[in-house]
Structure 1
Amino acid sequence: MKLRGFKITIYLFIICWGVTTGLNAQDKLEHEMRLLARPLPDSIVLRWAPTSYQLWLNGNEYGYHVTRTTIIKNGKYIKEKTTRLTKQPLKPRLLAEWEALVDKNDYAGVAAQAIYGDGFEVEAGDGEASMIDIINRSTEQENRFGFALFAADQSPEVAQYSGLWLADKNVKPGEKYLYKVFPAQVAEGMTSDTAVFFTGVDEYMPLSPPANVKAEAGDKMVTLTWDKQYQSELYNSFWVERSSDKGQSFRRLNDVPLVNTTPEGYDEANFHFYVDSLPDNETAFLYRVIGISLFGELSPASKEVSAKGIFMISSVPKMTAKTGPQGQTVVLNWEFSNDKQEKVDGYRIYRSEKFDSGFKILADKLPLISQQYVDMQPMSNAYYRIQAFNHDFDGPQSIPIMMQLVDSIPPKVPVGLQAEADTSGLVRIQWTANTEKDLFGYRVYRANSSREEFSQLTSEAIPVNAYVDTINLKTLTKEVFYKVVAVDKRQNKSDFSEVLKVERPDIVPPASPIFKKASADEKGVYLSWAQSASNDVEQQIIYRNAKGSQAWTLVVSLPTDSIHYTDIPSQTGTIYRYIIMAVDKAGNESKPAKPVAVKYNAPIQKDVWITPEVKYNKRKGLVELSWEKPEGDVKEYWVYEKKQGGSWELKKTNIRICKLLLNITNNESEYRVLSKN
């Protein structure tokens, strides 16, 4: 087989894989060996590779040795037993032996050219960029190395012919082995390296099918995607199959195993993909994917997915709009040439108040023969769009067309005005919202009198039926007035609402009353005063304070027309001070009037005899005495009893309340109480 001048042409999607895989990725060390093992029910397959083209060239010349060391048997560690599995070093087969394989395996030609060819030139299919451009013009030896390992990754036969493969069939269940692969000899100055892998046939696990297969339909095409992120260690290529007879039979769509790649400079995709061309959009097809492992095993077929092409629409009807009779409707007309002969089932019309958003369907499923639609309930200002559709696809929408109706009808007058003012000067006004569809907002007006001209508070119409105003409370004007106007989008104004009157919160205290006279006699302390000059006083309150005390006690609350009051303090011989304040309707209190001081001497009181009320409880043997407190201060009560035919006897002293219980001594007894002052 003559290899001089041999050129390799493979499809770009294969070339873009890059020059290294998980088996041959560069590590920190310059020359290393990598080893993978696949336990099968009856054997263990080994697959290895060097990480540098220098070590690869060394292996091609001297070959590799493989050893197996039995470590565990039936779950127990045993004395290590090492067997060399290669009598002679494994290295690439002679060039003549490759010829038969090259005729039936495209990857064999790539590997043979990389190992034995005098020149190594790779061209991309369909006139695309050369391999040198795609892998950043690497050296020829690196190209050979990369393509040789790539070909071995895609074909177990090529890996075996390349001296990078061994199947160990002398294995037993219950045993665990440590495999080692190392160069039979290394060139001078190159460090020898050994790759190891620990496994046994009991670790065999069947391959899982490719996961998460999905199909997205297009016009006479289907794009298939399936998981790459979580199954990248299992498969390096795939068969894609299609069925047109509901799964009774499947046909492979790709002539060579599919290898998805990510071009340099792009983020790694999380899925594989395949694009299939369809003969029509009517037939439903079933698809499935079969993975090919690094060891040449075929996975179970993936879950089948169904898809068929869809009839796409790229053409857009051309629409015009005008107002109908009396300007109360909108008439839409359109033309649709459909030069591309696309499948169209009908038309759909959209309407929105905005140019770029908010479009909703106004008319759906208009027949294909129709060319006009009348909007019988149009908005005063609206945008219209039209779209052709079929049962598979909605075509693009036309550019929005704006229509404005002539509108001279104003909104209704706002009603239901209410307001609430607080002591901070904020007035919160609200009213019933108008229901007109073309309502633009409201304008709010204010005046200090219902008879003066109102001024506008809102520089622009506000969109909500509420407004917060700030007013001055330190003014003699006790009321403020409001009214509201509604405005539509054509700036038509309603009449003014009814005027709303709002009381200003009163935060100004009234003027203080002034004491005119303060004197004391046997009847008490006499006070007189001049009333507050304010006209909103609702009550007058007097406080008392005993000399030496910091506390003021409320004496009395009097109506606004009172000008004098007599107070009877509880203690005699004490100097008392008095203040008076006015309180208005808002609860504001005036400053206290200048205090007046008076010494009160109560008249001397005499002891008083009291005849109590007598009640007998014969069952308990008790008699209950009760009496009313006499006028003046009482220090204590003394109780006397007089039996029939006898004299008065003192029964109890130091009594502080107007009630007493005594044991019955004689039902004919009399009782009296002496109040001691």
Structure 2
Amino acid sequence: MTGTLVAVAGAPASAAACATNAYTRQYFANTGFSGSPKRTDCDTVIDENWGSKAPGVSGLGKDNFGVRWTVKRDFGSGGPFSFAASGQDGIRVYLDGTRKIDLWKNGSSTVSKTVNLTVPRGTHTLRVDYVNWTGAAAVKFAYTPRTGATVDKVAPLTPTGLSIARDAGSGRNFMRWTANKEMDLAGYRVYRRTPAQTSFGAPLATVTGTSFTDTTAGDTTHLYEIRAVDKSGNLSAGTADVSVTGNPVFLRQYFANTGFTGTPKRTDTDTAIDENWGSNAPAVTGVGKDNFGVRWQITRDFGSGGPFSFAASGQDGIRVYLDGTRKIDLWKNGSSTVSKTVNVTVPRGTHTLRVDYVNWTGAAAVKFAYTPRTDATVDKVAPLTPTGAKVVYDEATDSATLSWAPNKEMDLANYWVSRGQAAGGFGVTALTPKTSWTDTGLPRNGRPVRYYINVTDRAGNLSGSTAVLTVNTVDTVVPTTPSLSVSHLAGSTSSLTIGWGNLTRGEIETGGTVSVYRSTGDTLGDSPRLVGTVSKDSPKPSPYAYVDELPAFDGTTYTYGIRVTDAAGNTSPMSAPKTVTPDSVPPAPLTGLTATPRADGVLLSWDAPAESGLTYAATRVVRRPDGSTGYDSDGCADAADPKKLTALPNAMLCAGPADGETVTFLVTAIDPWGNRIAPELAPTVTTTELDNRPDDARGEDSGLLTVLNPDAVTRLGRLEWACSDPAACAGITEYRVERWNGATGTYEAVTTVATAPNRWYHVPVRLPLGETSFLRITGVLADGTPAAVVHHAAAKGDYV
């Protein structure tokens, strides 16, 4: 049997242009395939039996000749194949230059061999070398895919080139795609769903060709995908979904008349309308060069719509319709090219364009294009907000891939991806024309990363933003080594407060824990005792501290350490140890206690004690009405506060008005474990305050007006008062608030407040540091006569 011969016997020995997947065949007048071949032609199969005769090629005898077949083809997804060779004399088979069959010897009988192998995906080259040394000559070779579910596990590749067009009049969706390359292909399965359905069900149809027409009713959008299936039942992945409202092509129909009546002679698709048949017919069976019509139509989603330009030209008649409304009408038989461009506004959403062309006689040509107008002065229509936005986080690669559905507008420029960290602001991170973007190098700190997407058109109009997409990153960051403090719990006899800094507090508030360890002695050791764990659900003082209740403060030495474990389970190193020796012995009484009157109170000072780490408490000694002794610490503050860089050492101010009173104070020292001597054992000092009162404040007030917040004026910076006898105060029309100026010996106005029935009054007052402010409130009648007065003195201590 001889394969199809493309080049005739007298053809030159140069390479022949062979059909796709046909062999190139070369005849050599030697068995080494050297020199120029005596003839080159094409062959569709390798199946020759020359017997004892020569091959019939000029220059070749019946002995000592060689024939080489070569084919380069796309095997698609590849898979298991069977290579079978037989003949007399020598046969060798190669795949991409690697020998797979070797029957290379001179013999008088037929030899054969079959090998099973896997052909990789893609394009590969097969070569078959045959030589006849002497005697009968014959050769046969075939390569065939091995099928069967137990043998072939390789699925076909996903079909490519899928396009869709709609005949709006008949409600038909016409699809076509590129043929797969696999040799064992059985056909294609067509799937359909609506946008509301999340997946495809059973196939709508199975076809062996590369096109399919589906009839649908109504305005429902349908999504389609195609999958290839081979003879072993392996199914490819599906194509990207297509719909007539996505990015369709034109449906094209050829008619053998100018009225578009009857059944079209051919229906196919077209990506653009640009034809020039001249005086020839369109090469469609049944359609001549005159009196024919071609109709193109396309139904698509224009997104937000906007300004468009429709441009048509050609010979003879051209009409353009938008949703059935004629926009261009060039409808007459002529011998010259006619053209027209119109500007239209396409509304938002899905619309149908139809172009009707007819040629009555003479030359035939037609061209049409619809393009968005993108000048910023013309296009004010923003794209629609992108839909279908989602994000997939890949912990292994520290990346987040965002994807979204493509917008339908034809004038899109770029999608904008904006990113924000935690609760902070957003910034544009990427501009891309694609519908996905991957953010790499995300931190592994457990903090959320947020995204949203906009799209802009070529006129610069920006869409709305998608909903925010959030990625919660994995947390592998070990918390910072915590700081540690140990102090006496105020008010307790034998409890310690184990404290830490704000970073550790933050870890607790976000779901972490603190483990508190304790050892007896001055080292923490390798195996300290876990005495407690603190979480955000623990009782107070969580999240600030942990309370360790000891049996007693008896001079035993303890060493503490803490570890922080965050919400993701990452644990910090142990803190630096803190060693303490709490006891119950109070500091000795202070010595050298003195009192110095000032304009803002009395400054107490004492000799530096031998013991370090002390704090101090001062109090006024007062005599109660029943004759017993009481203590009042209001206004007294430790001037040795380390936060005040200019603080006086071993001193304390007890702020109070400089109103000439004789006062007695005591001061006690407090050690870190809360120990202090009893007040009756503390030294005291007595002094007379400065008396800076104005003369009118030294007597008794009328009693009609009362300061309501005498103890809080300094703290609040506000003075409150009221009249105790509304009837007596009925004639008062306003209240004047004044402050005494000791330098000038006069009162200065602070503010004036109009009266109102049944109310109390308040005004803000600014109290200078280091002074006593003597304030006067006067109720004034309509004629300006004072009717009631109250005085108040308030000191604001300058504690340095």
Common fold: TM-score over 0.5? no
Q: Structure 2-normalised TM-score? A: 0.25
Structure having the higher helix fraction is: 1
Compare CA radii of gyration and give the structure with the larger one.
1
Q: Structure 1-normalised TM-score? A: 0.29
